[in-house]
Structure 1
Amino acid sequence: MNKYARKIFGKGKKGRKSKDGPSAEGGDGYDDSGFVIAGLPKEGSHDEEDGEPMETSSESTVQGLNSIFKWLSLKDTDECRKQNQKTASKKALPKYNILLLGGSGAGKSTTINSFANYEKYPTIKDAVKNKFVELISSSFKLAHPETDEEFCIESGHDANESDILGQSRTKDPMAYRFTFADKIIRLIDTPGMGDARGLKADKENFEKILEYLKNYETLHGIIIMMKSNETLNSTAFNYCITELFSRLHRSASENIFFCFTFSRNTFYRAGDGFYLLNQVLNEEFPDAKLELKSKVNCFFIDNEAYRYLVAKKAGYPFETDQMAEFAVAWNKSADQTRQMFSRIIEKSPHNLLHTFKLNMAQNFIAELAEPIVRLQKNIFSNMNTIERQKQSIERDSSTIDELKKTMHMTIFDMKMVVLEAPNTVCASNKCREIVLVNGVRKVDLKKCCIACPVEDIPTRKKGELLLKYCEIFNKNGNISNNCRECGCSWKVHLHVKHEYQPVQKKVIDPVVEKELKSLLDSKKSSDCISRKIIEALENTVRELNEEMEHIQRAAACFGYLLNKHSNSSCNQFIEPHLDMLIEEEKMKIKFIKGYSDETLMMLVSLKDKHGEHVKKIEKVIADGYSMELEDIDKLAHELCQLKHSGQQFQTLVNQFLKDNEKKVAHVERVGLDMSGNQ
């Protein structure tokens, strides 16, 4: 195993480095407090054996553990190119992949149609005289100029386009390949955000886009399209921007462009939409450091000239002098479109593997967040139980029979049970009750929907908007704010995918227990046996304490990695789960006579400890040690190897890998071939 695959955490004496010290080849990074991250390489470090850069491939695994990135086996399939090799240039042409994103009705599909015509015909007159290019079907309505009656205009039929009012016209992502003499431009059309079916449909569409992109290795451009005169900071608009920037790797910011459609209304300059977008980016995503600049990353078009071509073909009676107006729109929009694509082609491509890894890491860490908190709570409770027993032995003269009972004392492990389907539960005070399970008091939440069919709702997070699509709020399309089962607001409901059951286990290790039994059989004094039992209990407490520290450090590393690679701050990813457990402990204190507040105080302190660990990691990294998303594999492996909590983490990892095994479909169409090789 090379040094890059060694343990993330090691043990070292306070204030000193390892015996050999950190070197250019990698090593253990310490700060003055003794905080250590073992096996992290210095920037630019190399493997000792072959002198090559250390492997950071998504295919790598850590002994016995499949990589959480194992499904990211990426290659550019480009099936169209394989099927049309005769039309391709003998010399491989550079390919530029450009993704179009935006709200439903922003004009993504129309822009692709328009681009094809701008490139094929110099003027709108040429497009009218000849057969203009129709890549994607069109459907819209105009009022008849004389009768004001509805004039329906339809052009072509496309199984990938929907005619249902309010829904995104484009059903699934689709690439359109434009071949020129010196390059290939691939425009990827996508379903629009703001679908009339609500956020559930938007989320499904966004997942489709991310899955489709796994067919490609790079993106040169990500074009966010919105109406130039957009004034409403709507839920759909916010979702589109927030989802995009939270999912994209920070390095993709350089490849983001903004295209404002319907710009005739704003004289092909910045309008209300520009200033609304600028405000949202500055307030919500300052880390993205995106400055909007005309002709740099912002462009203004109006594709009404293409709609004119479609309507004219359908027999709509335009007035003779109207073509001049559409000619202006054609010329300005063609010029802006070419400028935008020229800027995009100049950019170094964004490596999509970085974004895919970030998304996989985000999903994986989200799954670990709650168990990380609950396991620490359980460890703390067990440590207190053992400590009290140890003090009792030290304080009192125990008989042999009493010591025998201590030998067999038990604590509680937290067994995690993965549900076949998520449940929707209510976390309001009136829907909680304290129940006794295997001798342990726990707070039980009312199950309002068992095996909820709504997918992709973040677990253990109250008030997720997608919860409104659960049948307890949504009956035949009529959405209620209150649950039909318990009457409480949707804002206090949440999805759960796991349940936790206390399971008894012996405190003293079987090997030590055998030694103690031998001492008892030899009729040693109770003092001698007491010392041996105390030693065993102290050893277990020490192991549990080290595990809790290890879990805290792993959580800090997860937070650091997300914050480093994402456009939004992610350090507080465990906070919602801490808050949930804090509420549960307060309830126990209120209703259980004599219940201690020790666990409550520990949970409150965890928030501060998490921040302290993140700062320590940042200091170690500042000293030149590297930590990347691939290290999540090693962190997960270390958690799975923990003596007392490892099995719970292994269950989570296995379930995550199972849930994320997906096959990606790839569909691509020939958009336009102007290479001269037809």
Structure 2
Amino acid sequence: MSNRNNFSDDYALGLQEMFPTFLRTQNNNNRHDNFTHNYNSDYDKRNNNNNSYYDSRNDYGNDRNNSYQKSRKSTRNKINLPGQESRVFKILLLGGTGTGKSTIINTMTNYFLGGTLENLKVVIPSKYYKVTEKKFVNEHSEAKLDDVTKSQTTKCYNYEFNHPDNPAYKFIFIDTPGLSDTNGVKQDDKNIKEIVDAAISAGSLSAIVIIANGTEARVTPSIKNTLVRLSNNLPDVLVDHNLLLILTKCAKSSACFSEDAFEKEIAKPKKVFYMDNQAFCNDPQIWKDDEDEYHTVQFHWDKSIKTINELLMAVTQLSSTSTQAFEKMKTYRNSIKSEIVKVTQDIANIQKVQDSLDAAQKALQQTGDKKNSFANYTTTETITLKSIVKAERHSTVCMLHFKSDVICHDGCGLEFNNSSGTDHFRYCSCMGSNGLCTKCGCGPSSHYHDNVKMGVKTQTISKVLEDLKAQFESANQQYQKYSSDKNTYQSSLSNLQATADAKYGLIHKLCFDLSKICSRFNFVDELHANIESMRQDARILQNNNLRNNAEKEIQRLEKLVNDLSSKRGGTYN
């Protein structure tokens, strides 16, 4: 493979052929010092002389050298940077975790610094390559190199390059953390904050480049989350004028990614690019000593360099746009999140009060039933009573005991005498041997005759069952307490709901105001995407307590989504 390094002397001539118009106005000393490394390609030769490629490894190396100039023309001759004025192009790179942002940045680095497959320039480490350009080493340059589900970038970082053929043109690529990281929704929230802050700090942007995996045909929850988050955070003024899309890991003919879904969720990009640079993704030992594999990798390398060329051309044709809209959106979003925190707490409080109300109503029902079961603590009883009643015959009665319903001799046979104070009744049969009445104990002089007799009557009386009465009174006290609690909880619930409704109204107003800056903004959709991501995360939790807490959080968010949707129909237009 030594022939790969034989043609570095031809590189300057290659550049002149690739940029004839532009370089005639440039001093050769303006070229970037690092942009003089070998760049080999056998793409054209493969098409024109495929047989000789397989006949001899030596011929293969020589053919690649001979085809170098043609290959360079095919990959680098389309850029045209007119004029000498200094210009700065700031490009914000966005995408989901694992979509290939790091590979694209490394490819751009090789474009600007003259890297080749034999002399790769690396600013973001991968599983197989360490950083070669020390000035780009930073604490955020690597995270989980072996885990494509975790973002390698945890903070935003700028990569600045002067174009090798026009140093007056500076390109600043703002690398950002990937979205839909497996660390979950909270990590996405942190990443969005980093992205927004970086955009604000930039002051203006020439382009927003969204990077997506072109091989993913299905809109998975992860992709949906990424698209929704991007659409909800990119202002119209930039999306409408500065949006570009790169589909990675594919060619135009093999892309499965739904551009229609992208356009529906975000917007129609100004231009779509396709890139499948395999050099940084695979073990170099697989292809470096295998001519067939090397040829494939070189082919994709050439196409990637050409794509970068076209991307830069597109960027230079876009007008730079202020990022002030990001600042306004951030203010609205912070206000919305603040109100969301408050209303979420309201929801939790409402749920607690509702639970207490339900418990009070249940207890009220139970104590009511109990009270009713003890309500009949009194009973009635019919008794028979003797009393004096009028009669046709006369009887002996005592003037002292008549009112006590005492008849001393019923149906007395003595001659009728209705006067007392005489000895007339000493011979009445009611008198005992001692001369006193055997019924009342009084002497004869206190007795007299009256037309009465002893009668019988019935009477119904009420009787209190004291043990039942005590249980009734206890149950009634509990009933009154739970009734009072119920009224208190209902009042608290009404107040809390009114407070929450006011916050919902404010949230909708803030969302409506924010939608004037970002017409695609839909907070309900974002919450739905959050919930789906949270569900995915919850499924893999092994700890029951953590899983239960996650489910409770999901339920609270679902309640919030339903409330937000029902209050204003879920729209802000």
| TM-score, normalising length: structure 2 | 0.47
The structure richer in helix per residue is: 2
TM-score with structure 1 setting the length: 0.41
Bigger Cα Rg: 2
